[in-house]
Chain A
Amino acid sequence: GAGVSQSPSNKVTEKGKDVELRCDPISGHTALYWYRQSLGQGLEFLIYFQGNSAPDKSGLPSDRFSAERTGGSVSTLTIQRTQQEDSAVYLCASTETSGGYQETQYFGPGTRLLVL
């Protein structure tokens, strides 16, 4: 079956503009994660969705970042008033159930964001 897909694959924007990044998880997967990988850094957890539960937003770096997941499937990560330090690869992952302990995460190819 289809894996996790993300769009766009690349995004170049000007400082101060808003951007929206999209993630389509594997069909039927209930948990969805967003990560960010800045240059020379590891994968930084941003946000976690699981079913109808309140999302864990503890990794969002500022209130310019927000995410939603509609209908328990597609997720959109929005960055408002982008800054140059937001430049990174944004990765989405999904897991079959709750993403619990020892469950494998399946990653999308990422969106490479460049803020000029």
Chain B
Amino acid sequence: DQQVKQNSPSLSVQEGRISILNCDYTNSMFDYFLWYKKYPAEGPTFLISISSIKDKNEDGRFTVFLNKSAKHLSLHIVPSQPGDSAVYFCAASAASGTYKYIFGTGTRLKVLA
């Protein structure tokens, strides 16, 4: 049972345009969400997070939106740059689950120059 789903395995976007990566979850107990970015041959690195008390969190070119009623979150990158080409994982956790994060399968973003 995949509690965190990233239904798009890949996405291609032109440089300068907006990239939108989506993530859906099924467990209503999840209340903290993160996005990680992974380059080939490297481990995932933390990108941005959001708590369920918010519906938006912004950090530079990266914004995460959370729609709790739809159990959906999205990561917007604008403007997209070639260096953003990577695999993006969303992850979710619940206060009751403390240290455990549930990860999605990842979306491979390719930003075309």
Q: Check A100/B41 contact, CB under 8 A, given A41-B105, A42-B4, A42-B105.
A: no
Does B2 lie at the interface of the complex (its beta carbon under 8 Å from any beta carbon of A)?
yes
**Size of interface on B: residues with Cβ below 8 Å to A:** 29
Are B42 and A109 in touch, CB under 8 angstroms? Answer: yes
Also in contact, A48 and B103, with CB within 8 A (given A4-B43, A91-B43, A102-B51): no
* Least Cβ–Cβ distance between A47 and chain B, in angstroms: 11
Contact B44 A91 (CB under 8 A): yes
State whether A100 and B99 are in contact (beta carbons under 8 Å apart), knowing that A91-B44, A109-B41 are contacts in the complex.
Answer: yes
Q: By the criterion CB–CB under 8 Å, are A102 and B49 in contact?
A: yes
- CB distance B43 to A108 under 8 Å? yes
B44: which A residues are within 8 A, CB to CB?
Answer: 43, 91, 107
A42 touches B106 (CB 8 A): yes
Contacting residues of chain B (34-69) with chain A, CB-CB under 8 angstroms? 34, 36, 41-46, 49, 51
In the complex the two chains form, what is the Cα distance from A74 to B56 in whole Å?
A: 38
Which B59-83 residues have a C-beta within 8 angstroms of A?
none
Please, how many angstroms separate the alpha-carbon atoms of A42 and B92 in the complex?
Answer: 12
Contact (Cβ within 8 A) B93 A101: yes
Q: Mark A2-32, 1 if CB is under 8 A from B, else 0.
A: 0010000100000000000000000000010
B95 to chain A, nearest CB (A): 5
Interface size class of A (residues with CB under 8 A): 20 to 34
Judge whether B28 is part of the interface by a CB distance below 8 angstroms: no
A41 to B44, CA, bound (A): 14
**Contact call A101/B95, Cβ cutoff below 8 A:** yes
Listed in ascending order, the chain B residues whose CB lies under 8 Å from chain A are: 2, 4, 6, 9, 32, 34, 36, 41-46, 49, 51, 89, 91, 93, 95, 97-106
Chain A residues near B (Cβ < 8 Å): 4, 9, 31, 33, 35, 40-45, 48, 50, 56, 91, 93, 95, 98-110
24 contacts across the A-B interface (CB closer than 8 A): A9-B41, A41-B105, A42-B102, A42-B105, A43-B44, A43-B89, A43-B103, A45-B101, A48-B99, A50-B99, A93-B43, A98-B98, A101-B32, A101-B93, A101-B98, A101-B99, A102-B32, A102-B51, A103-B99, A104-B34, A106-B45, A107-B45, A109-B43, A110-B43
